[in-house]
């Protein structure tokens, strides 16, 4: 199971990056890093998880063929064939520039290498957790915890009941805020869960 997870997308790169960042943080190489920066980095990731999924990955098709190709590879095709491992995870060519942008923004705001390191490590931990929860949702694996089992069902409702609901992959909190949460029995089945905008 873990070997399959590490073979796809950016997952091995994320694990390696997380270990390097954790080693640097423990060694205090760029300077001391405050624990709050780690927590804030994870929180920022979880806030972006919902917003990226709903507003970027489910955005209407672009008129540019290049951008449309990105939309298809990053999400539309995942809805067409949700069990394809090669479409399940973020590819390195997307992850690395996205993290570089995050680091640049963090540096502009904080101007402190230790804080930036903590924020980035929090992002990486959040993203690894997201990728794992997403992986579990699309494989036959049965989660051990009740919240794990619930989030698996929750994500599959998004794929097989209605793609306009249940955008949270790791937690439903922002679905509650944005009103994209509802009891599954009260939501009408969509005919376009597999064919976004086609």
Angle at the Cα of 125 from the Cα atoms of 124 and 131, rounded to 5 degrees? 85
What letter does residue 189 receive in the DSSP assignment?
P
> SS3 for 198?
coil
Which domain, by its residues, includes 75? 2-144
Tell me the per-residue pLDDT of 86-116, one tens digit each, with 9 for 90 and over.
999 999 999 999 999 999 999 999 999 999 9
Whole-number pLDDT of residue 32 = 86
Residues 6+ apart with CB under 8 A from 142: 149
- The answer to whether residue 53 sits within a structural domain is yes
List the chain residues with pLDDT less than 70: 198
pLDDT given at position 121: 97
User: Residue 69: inside a domain, yes or no?
Assistant: yes
In a domain, 88, yes or no: yes
What is the pLDDT, as a whole number, of residue 132? 97
Q: Dump the DSSP string for 55-82.
A: IIITSPPPSSHHHHHHHIIIIIHHHHST
Residue 111 near residue 32, CB atoms below 8 Å: no
Tokens representing 84? 């394809």
For residue 96, being part of any structural domain is answered with: yes
22 part of a folded domain: yes
Predicted TM-score (pTM) of the model is 0.94
Task: Give pLDDT tens digits for 20-35.
Answer: 999 999 998 888 889 9
**How many distinct structural domains can be found in the chain?**
1
Residue 154 within any structural domain of the chain: no
Residue 79 lies in a domain: yes
Q: Please choose, from the candidates 131, 86, 87, 123, the residue with its C-alpha nearest in 3D space to the C-alpha of residue 102.
A: 123
Q: Tokens 């599954």 — which residue?
A: 184
User: For the chain, how big is the Rg over CA atoms in Å?
Assistant: 18
Let me know if residue 162 belongs to a domain: no
Q: Report helix angle 11-27 to 92-110, nearest 10.
A: 30
pLDDT recorded at residue 31: 82
Number of continuous H segments (helices) and E segments (strands) in the chain: 9, 0
Work out the burial of residue 198: count CB atoms within 10 Å of its CB; fewer than 13 is exposed, 13-18 middle, 19 or more buried: exposed
CA distance to 12, 105, 106, 143, per residue, from 6 (Å): 5, 28, 28, 18
């Amino acid at each position: 199971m873990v070997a399959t997870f590490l073979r796809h997308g950016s997952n091995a790169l994320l694990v390696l990056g997380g270990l390097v960042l954790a080693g640097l943080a423990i060694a205090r190489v760029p300077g001391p890093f405050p624990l709050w920066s780690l927590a804030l980095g994870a929180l920022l990731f979880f806030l972006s998880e919902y917003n990226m999924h709903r507003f970027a990955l489910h955005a209407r098709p672009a008129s540019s063929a290049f951008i449309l190709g990105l939309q298809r590879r990053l999400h539309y095709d995942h809805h067409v064939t949700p069990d394809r491992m090669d479409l399940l995870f973020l590819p390195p060519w997307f992850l690395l520039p996205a993290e570089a942008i995050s680091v640049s923004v963090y540096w502009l705001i904080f101007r402190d290498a230790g804080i930036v390191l903590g924020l980035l490590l929090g992002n990486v931990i959040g993203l690894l957790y997201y990728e794992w929860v997403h992986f579990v949702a699309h494989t036959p694996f049965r989660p051990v915890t009740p919240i794990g089992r619930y989030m698996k069902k929750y994500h599959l409702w998004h794929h097989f009941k209605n793609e306009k609901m249940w955008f949270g992959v790791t937690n439903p909190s922002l679905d509650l805020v944005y009103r994209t949460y509802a009891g599954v029995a009260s939501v009408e089945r969509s005919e376009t869960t597999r064919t976004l905008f086609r």
